[in-house]
Amino acid sequence: MQIVHYGTIDLQPVLSVPLSGTLCSLYEMSGEGVSCSLPGKDSMQTDKILISGLEFYAYHGASDQEQTVGHRYQVDARLEVDTRPAGLSDRLSDTVSYSRVAKRLMEVGTQEQFRLLEALAARMTQAVLADFPSIECIVLKVQKMVPPMNAIVASVGVEIVRSRSAEG
């Protein structure tokens, strides 16, 4: 695995995973989480659209009680997309509408039901990649706020990376 130099910061890959012939490298930088590096593209040169702190109330959970009572969820998404056309034209039609992506994430989160956060996150990324063809890769973090467990924690969650080429 190769260190990526970004200005004065060196990023060390923490994991490289082959996905359908694509090597997706996960990088850690100052708590920023992971990003996806596609072949022939420098992940630090890829534009990103960010959605942070999207919240909704839904009925996911391993137990029947969790699926009845419900919980508050929080989603963060990092969408890798070429924003240069929109930067030049200043037209929404030349980019991905973060409002439409947020709405789609909310639809999946509130209208479908899952036992596991992993399944919820996988379905959300599948829906976004299917509905927004210009998104090349998505890093999605889904958290269940104040989960029912024998410890006091602010949240539990998953963070997954899915790329278009890995979808098939």
Active-site amino acid positions: 144
Cα–Cα nearest to 83, from 75, 94, 69, 68: 94
d(Cα 6, Cα 22) in Å, to the nearest integer? 22
The number of beta carbons lying within 10 Å of the beta carbon of residue 71 is 19
Quick one: which H or E segment has residue 15? strand 13-19
